[in-house]
Structure 1
């Protein structure tokens, strides 16, 4: 019997995606913090110039997609672990559907917004 899981249909693949996405987010954080530490007192123009380079656009896009996958898998796990009929009664399945739908809409909207910010120019 196959059960539905967060993103890929497999718990081990979801686990792997969450770990890889965490590494991508860590690399992005270190790159941005490293740039800030090496360029103290920078102006908006310098920041914009750094963030709008092609490598930073690509790394930013990877980071946004990693954040979306990471958030979706994590929230799905929280909802399936804590919003259950055993704990909340029969209304749990409806609440889980509402919460899951809200997360899907939010991460999709954030991803589109971030892509527009970095690639609309």
Structure 2
């Protein structure tokens, strides 16, 4: 069993729960967006802008953005700890795994910060 400080949860069960909970949030967000798009066939920029600039949608989008980041991190962490090991890659396995996790963490943080900047217009 791999015990790592890079895990989001305390153990595999917590990671599993995080993965499922964030999937539900992302699914509800997708259905909400699709519902709006389907019920607004002649969508204009003003309607879209008004819908997305409401406080509810900004907060909901922020929750979906953080959920996407957590969901992606758990998945990529699982992949890296399962397949980037010393058993499969030899002595360099640990270095490769840590480098992969560092790149994934950096990209995830950049996407979340970028999303917040776009969402709140900072």
After TM superposition, the score normalised by the length of structure 1 is: 0.93
Structure 1 unpaired stretches of 5+: none
- Matched residue, 2:32: 31
- Matched residue, 2:113: 112
* Counterparts of 1:10 and 1:49, CA distance in 2: 42
* Counterparts of 2:25 and 2:17, CA distance in 1: 12
CA RMSD of aligned residues (A): 1.6
The answer on whether the counterparts of 2:2 and 2:81 sit within 8 Å (CA) in structure 1 is: no
Q: Secondary structure at the match of 1:7?
A: coil
* Counterparts of 1:61 and 1:10, CA distance in 2: 26
- Matched residue, 2:70: 69
The answer on whether the counterparts of 1:3 and 1:9 sit within 8 Å (CA) in structure 2 is: no
- Matched residue, 1:3: 3
After TM superposition, the score normalised by the length of structure 2 is: 0.93
Aligned length: 121
Relative to structure 1, is the Cα distance of residues 73 and 91 closer, same or farther in structure 2, using a 3 angstrom cutoff? same
Moved over 3 A (4+): none
1:58-115 CA-to-partner distances (Å, cap 9, x unmatched) read 1100000000100001000000011111111111111111110000000101001111
**Deviation for aligned residue 1:2:** 8.6
Structure 2 unpaired stretches of 5+: none
- Matched residue, 2:18: 17
Aligned pairs for 1:94-113 (under 5 A) are: 94-113=95-114
